[in-house]
Amino acid sequence: MMERNRTMMQFFEWHLPADQKHWARLEERAKELKDAGIGAVWVPPVTKGQSAEDTGYGVYDLFDLGEFDQKGTVPTKYGTKEELENAIKACHDAGIHVYVDVVMNHKAGADETERFAVVEVDQNDRKKVISEEPFEIEGWTKFTFPGRKGKYSDFEWRFQHFNGTDFDAKEDRTGIFRIEGEYKNWNDNVDDEFGNYDYLMFANIDYRHPKVREEVIKWGKWMAETLDCDGYRLDAIKHIDHNFVDEFSKEVVEERGDDFFFVGEFWVSELEPCANMIEETNGRIHLFDVPLKYNLFSASQEGAKYDLSKIFEGTVVANYPQNAVTFVDNHDTQPGEALESFLADWFKQSAYALTLLRKDGYPCVFYGDYYGIGGDEPVDPKKEAIDPLLYSRLHKAYGEQVDYFDHPNTVGWIRKGTAEIERSGCAVVINNSEEGGEKHMCVGEERAGEKWVDMLNSREEIIEIGEDGCATFPVNAGSVSVWALPEQDVKEPDPEADRKSALMQELVQEVKQELKDEIKQELMGELKQEVEETVEHKTSEADADKKDLKKEIKREAKREIKKELKKELGKDDKENKKK
C-alpha cells in the first residue's frame, strides 16, 4: 500500500494559557488530528523552564520533564511528565509521530551566582572587546537542581561550562560578557551575524568544553528513550557550534535508528548558509524553509505587485527538497513576537496551498493558524480554510507534478495522481490580483471526460476534462482553487431539473406547514380538553373535601355542645340536691 502524504503540525503558539493542561489537550485531540490529515506533531519544549509560566525556551533543567518540585512548580507550563507520556502514547496509538522541541543553546534560572572574570564585547560586533581589561562580575551560572537531587544525572553546571552571560548581579547591569579562561572564546562554527552569533541569551553553553558535550549528548539519548519520541526540533542552531549539532544528531540516530527525525531552526533568509548547514550535518538535519517563509510574507504584503512565478526562487525546498520543512508562520512570527512577519489573511490559504499541495518539502501547519491565537493580539482560527487543503493533500496531491508558473499574478500546477490512490490528482490555481484569472493546464488524456470541482468551494463550476486531457481552471481574485475529481460523480447542471427540484422543495415546505398547522390545532384542542378535565376533576375533589370537612365540623360541634350540656345538667342536679 502506498504511503500517504505526511503533514506536521506545530502543536502550540506563544500565548497558550499556563494551565498545565496542554499535554491533556494533545491526548484528547490526537485522533481528531489524524482524521484531519496530520501525521506528526512538533510539541513545545518539555523540559522545566525558569518559572511555571515559562514557554520552555528559558530552559532550567534538561532532566526535569515535569516531575520534580523546582522553580515553584512540579508540572511545566504544559503539564506533568506522566501527562506528556500519555499524550505521546495517544499520538502513537492514532498513528501520529511526535517531535520534541530541544533547547540546548543556553540555560536560565540558575540556583546561585558565582564570581568570575569576563570581558565586555560590543553587542553589534561580538568579536570586538570594549572593556580595557578583564574584570570580575557576579553571574547567575551555578545550577545545582536541588529538587531533582541527582536523579538521572548528577552533573551540576558552573561558570566554566558557559562562555558568556548578559547580567552582572554585582553591579546590577546588563551587557554581553564573554567569560575568560583557558581555551575560552566564542565558538567559531556559528552564524556570522554580529561578527559572531554564538551568544543569544542567558548563560550561553560552551560546546568547546568536553564535559558539556558529553552531558548534552547523554541527555539527548536519555530523553528520546524515556519519551519514546520520534524526532527532535532543534532550537536556535545558528547559534550552536555546527560540528556539535552534527555530532549530537549522529549520536542520537545511532542510538534510536535512522528514522529518528531532526529539523533545525536555522533562522537565515539566504540560501547559501542554509546549504552549508545541510552539508555540514551530512544531510541528517532538515531545515525550516525560512527563505520561502519570507517570500510568502512578501507576497502577502505586496499583493498584485509580487511576481508569483518567482515565489520559490532562492528557497530550501527548491534546492534541497529532501531537507526542507515548509511552513507559513510559527510562534516567533506571530503578532508581537521577536520575528513578527505574520501573513495577511487574504493570502494565508494560498500560502498553505503552496506548502501542502506540492510534491517537495515536508509541510508544517501552525497551531495558531489552525486553532487561533490568544494574548493581547488575538487571531481567529483558520481551521475551515486549512481543513480542505489537508484533505486534498491526504487524498489528491499525488503523482507527477507539472508547473505553470508563467504569469506574475496567476500561477498553477497539476498533480497527475496515482492508480494506487483512487480519484487522486488535482489542479491548483493561485491568483494575487483584483481581477482573478484562469490557467489552461493538462492533467493527462486518461482523465478525459472527468468532471472536476473546486475542493475549496470557492467556485461552483464543474470543469470537464477535454479529450486532450486539458482544461481551463478558473480562480477568484486574490484567492486559490483546488480542482479535483470529487469522491462521488457529479452531473452537469440541468436548468429544467433544477426548476422542478426547486418547485418540489417549495411544495414540500407548503405541505409541511399545512400539516404543522393541523397538528398544532389538534394538539391545542387536546390540551384544552385536558385542562378542562383537570379543572373539573379538581373541582369535584374540592366539593368532596368540602363535604367531608363539614361533616367533621359537625361532629366536633356536637361533641362540644354535649360537653357543655353535661356541665349545665350537672350543675342543675347539684343545686336540686342542695335544695
Q: How confident is the model at residue 579 (pLDDT cuts 50, 70, 90)?
A: very low
Q: Are 249 and 210 in contact (CB under 8 A)?
A: no
Q: What is the length of the chain?
A: 579
Q: Which residue is it, cell 555546527? A: 242
The fold of the 112-205 domain, in CATH, is Elongation Factor Tu (Ef-tu); domain 3 (2.40.30)
What's residue 528's pLDDT? 75
Q: Are 450 and 466 in contact (CB under 8 A)?
A: no
Q: Which residue is it, cell 527532535? A: 232
Compute the distance between CA of residue 354 and CA of residue 368 in angstroms, rounded to an integer: 18
Amino acid, single-letter form, for residue 348: K
φ, ψ (nearest 5 deg) of residue 137: -125, 170
Over residues 123-135, the pLDDT tens digits come to: 999 999 999 999 9
Q: What is the mean pLDDT of residues 306-320?
A: 99
**Residue 133's beta-bridge partner residues?**
none
Confirm whether residue 440 is marked as ligand binding. no
What's residue 543's pLDDT? 65
For residue 177, CA distances in Å to 120, 136, 389 come to 5, 10, 49
Please give the residue that has the higher pLDDT: either 294 or 188.
Answer: 294
* Mean residue pLDDT across the chain: 93
And the C-alpha cell for 396? Answer: 489528491
Please give the residue that has the higher pLDDT: either 520 or 442.
Answer: 442
Q: Are 355 and 390 in contact (CB under 8 A)?
A: no
Dihedral sign (CA 269, 270, 271, 275) = negative
Amino acid, single-letter form, for residue 512: K
Quote the radius of gyration of the chain (alpha carbons, Å).
37
Confirm whether residue 206 is marked as ligand binding. yes
Q: Are 231 and 260 in contact (CB under 8 A)?
A: yes
Compute the distance between CA of residue 295 and CA of residue 313 in angstroms, rounded to an integer: 9
Domain-by-domain residue ranges, the chain?
A: 112-205, 401-484
Over residues 419-470, the pLDDT tens digits come to: 999 999 999 999 999 999 999 999 999 999 999 999 999 999 999 999 999 9
Q: Are 89 and 100 in contact (CB under 8 A)?
A: no
Helix (H, G, I), strand (E, B) or coil at 424: coil
Nearest to 65 by CA among 165, 172, 151: 151
Helix (H, G, I), strand (E, B) or coil at 381: coil
And the C-alpha cell for 123? Answer: 553587542
φ, ψ (nearest 5 deg) of residue 152: 75, -35
Least confident residue range of 47-56, 315-324, 538-547: 538-547
pTM: 0.84
Q: Are 279 and 322 in contact (CB under 8 A)?
A: no
Compute the distance between CA of residue 91 and CA of residue 89 in angstroms, rounded to an integer: 5
φ, ψ (nearest 5 deg) of residue 218: -60, -45
As a whole number of angstroms, the longest Cα–Cα distance in the chain is 144
What are the start-end ranges of the E strands in 399-479? 401-404, 410-415, 426-431, 437-442, 451-454, 463-464, 470-475
Task: Give the β-pairing of 125-129 and 112-122.
Answer: antiparallel
Q: Are 233 and 100 in contact (CB under 8 A)?
A: yes
Q: How far is CA 491 from the centre of its chain?
A: 38
Over residues 467-500, the pLDDT tens digits come to: 999 999 999 999 999 999 998 765 555 566 667 6
Task: Check whether 200 has a pLDDT greater than 50.
Answer: yes
CA angle 289, 294, 300 (to 5 degrees): 130
Task: Check whether 167 has a pLDDT greater than 70.
Answer: yes
Q: Are 331 and 368 in contact (CB under 8 A)?
A: yes
Confirm whether residue 332 is marked as ligand binding. no
Dihedral sign (CA 131, 134, 135, 140) = positive
Q: How confident is the model at residue 408 (pLDDT cuts 50, 70, 90)?
A: very high
Q: What is the mean pLDDT of residues 193-198?
A: 97
438 burial level (CB within 10 Å; 0-12, 13-18, 19+): middle
Over residues 134-156, the pLDDT tens digits come to: 999 999 999 999 999 999 999 99
And the C-alpha cell for 274? Answer: 542554509
φ, ψ (nearest 5 deg) of residue 538: -65, -40
Confirm whether residue 476 is marked as ligand binding. no
Residues taking part in catalysis: 235, 265
401-484 to CATH, choices 3.30.1660.40, 1.10.3720.10, 2.60.40.1180, 3.90.420.10? 2.60.40.1180
φ, ψ (nearest 5 deg) of residue 357: -110, 10
Name 113's Cβ contacts closer than 8 Å, sequence gap at least 6: 138, 139, 140, 141, 142, 169
Name 8's Cβ contacts closer than 8 Å, sequence gap at least 6: 38, 39, 40, 41, 42, 99, 325, 362, 363, 364, 365
And the C-alpha cell for 219? Answer: 541527555
Q: Which residue is it, cell 429544467? A: 496
Q: What is the mean pLDDT of residues 110-133?
A: 97
Compute the distance between CA of residue 324 and CA of residue 229 in angstroms, rounded to an integer: 21
And the C-alpha cell for 525? Answer: 384542542
Task: Check whether 550 has a pLDDT greater than 70.
Answer: no
Q: What is the mean pLDDT of residues 4-21?
A: 98
Q: What is the edge-to-edge ordering of all strands in the sheet holding 97-102?
A: 324-325, 286-288, 261-264, 231-234, 97-102, 40-43, 8-10, 364-366
Over residues 505-519, the pLDDT tens digits come to: 777 677 767 777 777
